Structure 1
Amino acid sequence: MNLSRRKVLHLAGLGIAALAAMPAQKALAAPKIRVGVLKFGTVSWELDTIKYHGFDAANGVKLDVLPFAGEDATNVAILGGAIDVIVSDWLWVSRLRSEGTDLTLAPYSTAVGAIMVRQDSPIKTLADLKGKKLGVAGGPLDKSWLLIRALASRDHGIDLATACEVAYGAPPLLAEKAMQGELDAVLNFWHFCARLEANGFRRLIGANDAALALGASGPVSALGYIFHDQFAANNGDTVRGFLKASADAKKLMATSDEEWLRLAPVMRAEGKELEVLRDRYRQGIPTRPVADEMADAARLYAVLAQIGGEKLVGKATEMAPGTYWTGLVK
């Protein structure tokens, strides 16, 4: 096929223009932020909402979700620099900061565990747990367990760790044993509690109830998005963009029942279970200023340090400065 000189020059010009534009297009690419999550964890629900609705792109970032098999794996990955963000708890951040690691936290959720009993159970107060078989998820140093133990000690003069027949175990196993009637009560993570609630159980007391009774002025985010101070210092706009995308997703999840129907296959829930999970998730969306959460966490640290000791908090006598990130507002 013969092309005129003018056509050839025109096509050549287009090619040169395209080549010239390539560096600019690359420069305009949104910065990536790598978030490590448990493969079937509840954090995946929010991240799915961010990706599906493009909240990351709308806030100038590209979310890269990396699944991990367990919490220890995500901890190792962020400490080793393989990922930028994980979700974990403020007490872990404080301990590592006190030991020289520059992790910090932005609140993610105030949803915490609770002690669940069957609707027809005669157990009405913490004192009624004496002599009963109690399942506890998360181990003897679980923060919800320690807070509830502290409250039982203060109000009823009993140490649930010795007053009950305590069975520590994995959350799904304990939930199943509770359903089968092998436990009189179970302290489990919030989403297992929600599923139990949808299947004939009631809340005896939640960890947030204990925290409020022990001096907190409002709900404290047990979990937060965790990243390195240095990463935030070098990538402030990226961190802020990601946290704004998170806030956009939470806003949608707080108001749209249709969004939860879309998420149902990801959650592996339907019917009553889906509704309770939705409602409990919404209750856990942080609404307080970071400064207020930080002050309450410092108060709770003293309680936890007293009952959990050095095994829980290390040698630090108070929450480490900088545990909560205050750089969201530029």
Structure 2
Amino acid sequence: MTAGCTRRALLLSSGALAAAMATATGRRSAMAASQTVATRPAIRAGVLKFGTVSWELDTVRANRFDEEAGIALQLTELAGNQATQVALQAGAVDVIVSDWLWVSRMRSQGEALSFIPYSTALGALVVPAGSGISGIADLRGRRIGVAGSPLDKSWLLLRALSADRYGLALDRDAVPVFAAPPLLNGKLIDGELDAVLTYWPFAARLEAQGQRVLMTVSGMLEALGQAASVPSVGYVFKEQWARANPAALAGFQAAVAQARTLLAGTGAASDAAWNRLAPIMKAEDDATFRTLRDRFRDGIPRRWGEAEREGAAKLYSLLASLGGRELVGDGRTLAPGTFWTGAE
């Protein structure tokens, strides 16, 4: 064998050995990562693909806040709010986002669910930029688009405020149109509706297009003597699961808190986190992106203590009187245990 052939043989042998070593190292790293994940309790969260909760939980995973908190967060995309509720009840997921009215209703029916806050963001009543409507009193005879059904909480609050302050029965003195939020937004832009009462992400999109927010739902609450800082929706889970997995729940709360701190910030790190979320936010333009970001930040809970829980109980009583059994079931007062305060 020539010297050149010997050198080539040595190089090929060395390359094969290096490749084998790299493969073995990669396998060991993958096995170690797998073992690390296996030692962390998994939390399965049911989310809507384009729901705003995905912004928070995607931030948790992208920044590995779940790893830091000792958990493995897994996201399961579901088709709608009812699907998330069914998945939780069936045990297919551990955590979903829903409102505390539903949690209280389930508890009154014997299903022990509990709630921790996710967002205080509520909707708004929006009118066209050039509208002559300057206040609630001007809604008489107007076509009002309402996101959801006649039992929508914002609609009940608007009706209560209109009756209390202006003697208006909006279900009779106006023309309510109940439909899905995207359809209502389009009809307002096209001039087919005089006002739209809708959920905050859709109100934010209208605001970004130059439409005018006549009144927020938070403003309605304040006008009715209610606390506007009460969370509208939160993370919901089975009480039995929480008691059996206190470390996992604590880790989930810690990871979410880190994500909120990052998203609420005003520095370069927060900007980068939001820019990374832009594709799932589905913002049509920069103005929409900024408005969605700002309204999300506005809804991040700042406090959650006894005062807020008492405010929720007071609001429950008001909503129960407005919506009746169709809204809250048989529970005339907020069910004890609706709000998770710890394993005690």
Same fold (TM over 0.5): yes
Q: Does 1:325 align with 2:335?
A: no
The correspondence for 1:261, drawn from 275, 286, 306, is 275
2:50 alignment counterpart: 40
**Residue of 297, 301, 307 corresponding to 1:282:** 297
Amino acid at match of 1:276: T
Q: Find the aligned partners of 1:315 and 1:301 in 2 and give their Cα distance.
A: 13
SS of the residue corresponding to residue 220 of structure 2 reads helix
Superposition deviation, residue 268 in structure 1 = 1.2
Amino-acid identity (%): 50
Instruction: Give distance in 2, aligned partners of 1:257 and 1:124.
Output: 36
Q: Is the 8 A contact 1:215 1:296 kept in 2?
A: no
Superposed displacement of residue 161, structure 1: 1.7
User: Does residue 1:314 correspond to 2:324, yes or no?
Assistant: no
Q: Distance in 1 between matches of 2:258 and 2:172?
A: 45
In 1, Cα distance between equivalents of 2:186 and 2:95: 32
Aligned residue identity for 2:287: K
Distance 2:62 2:36 in 1: 23
Distance 1:220 1:64 in 2: 28
Indicate if the aligned counterparts of 1:215 and 1:300 stay in contact, CA closer than 8 A.
no
Q: 1:14 maps to what in 2?
A: none
- Contact in 2 for aligned 1:150/1:303 (Cα 8 Å): no
Is 1:296 the counterpart of 2:311 in the alignment?
yes
Q: Does 1:116 align with 2:126?
A: yes
Unaligned runs of 5+ in 1: 1-17
Contact 1:290 1:326 in 2 (8 A): no
- TM-score with structure 1 setting the length: 0.90
Tell me, yes or no, if structure 1 residue 83 matches structure 2 residue 93.
Answer: yes
Q: Deviations over 1:13-36 (max 9, x none)?
A: xxxxx9xx99xx579711000000
Residue 252 of structure 2: aligned partner: 242
Distance in 2 (alpha carbons) for counterparts of 1:73 and 1:178 = 29
Equivalence for 2:12: none
Mapped partners of 2:188, 2:121: distance in 1: 21
Give the SS at the match of 1:319. coil
- The alpha-carbon distance between structure 1 residues 114 and 26, as it changes in their structure 2 partners (threshold 3 A), is closer
Is 2:61 the counterpart of 1:51?
yes
Which region of structure 1 is more displaced relative to structure 2, 282-291 or 27-36?
27-36
Larger deviation, residues 209-218 vs 144-153: 209-218
For 1:191, the equivalent position in structure 2 comes to 201
2:177 is aligned to 167
Quick one: distance in 2 between partners of 1:34 and 1:170?
Answer: 28
Measured after TM superposition, the shift of residue 89 of structure 1 is 0.4
User: Take 1:292 and 1:50, find their aligned partners in 2: how far apart are those partners?
Assistant: 29
Write out per-residue CA displacement over residues 282-301 of structure 1, whole angstroms, 9 at most, x where no aligned residue. 00000112322211111111
SS of match in other structure, 1:221: coil
Aligned residues between the structures? 309
User: What residue is the counterpart of 1:272 in the other structure?
Assistant: 287
Shift, 1:218, TM fit: 3.9
How far the C-alpha of 1:149 sits from its partner, in A, is 1.3
CA distance in structure 2 between the aligned counterparts of 1:276 and 1:58, rounded to whole angstroms: 31
Matches of residues 141-156 of structure 1 in structure 2 within 5 Å? 141-156=151-166
Task: Give 1:214 shift.
Answer: 2.0
Q: Partner of 2:39: helix, strand, or coil?
A: coil
* CA distance in structure 2 between the aligned counterparts of 1:120 and 1:27, rounded to whole angstroms: 56
- Does the aligned pair in 1 maintain the 2:37–2:72 contact within 8 Å? no
Structure 2 unaligned segments of length 5 or more: list them. 1-27
Cα distance, 1:39 vs. partner? 1.4
Would you say the 8 A contact 2:219–2:228 is kept in 1? no
- The AA in structure 2 aligned to 1:70 is G
Between the aligned partners of 1:296 and 1:28, the Cα distance in structure 2 is 41
1:45-99 deviation per Cα after TM superposition (whole angstroms, max 9, x unaligned):
1111011000111111100000001111111110111110000001111111111
- In the TM superposition, residue 215 of structure 1 has moved relative to its aligned partner by 2.5
Structure (1 or 2) with the larger CA radius of gyration: 2
Q: Which residue of 2 aligns with 1:4?
A: none
What letter matches 1:211 in structure 2?
L
Aligned to 1:7: none
Q: What is the match of residue 70 of structure 1? A: 80
Does residue 231 (structure 1) correspond to residue 241 (structure 2)? The answer is yes
Residue 107 of structure 1 contacts residue 290 of structure 1 at CA under 8 Å; is this kept in 2? no
Match of 1:104 in 2: 114
- With structure 2 as the length reference, what TM-score do the two structures score? 0.86
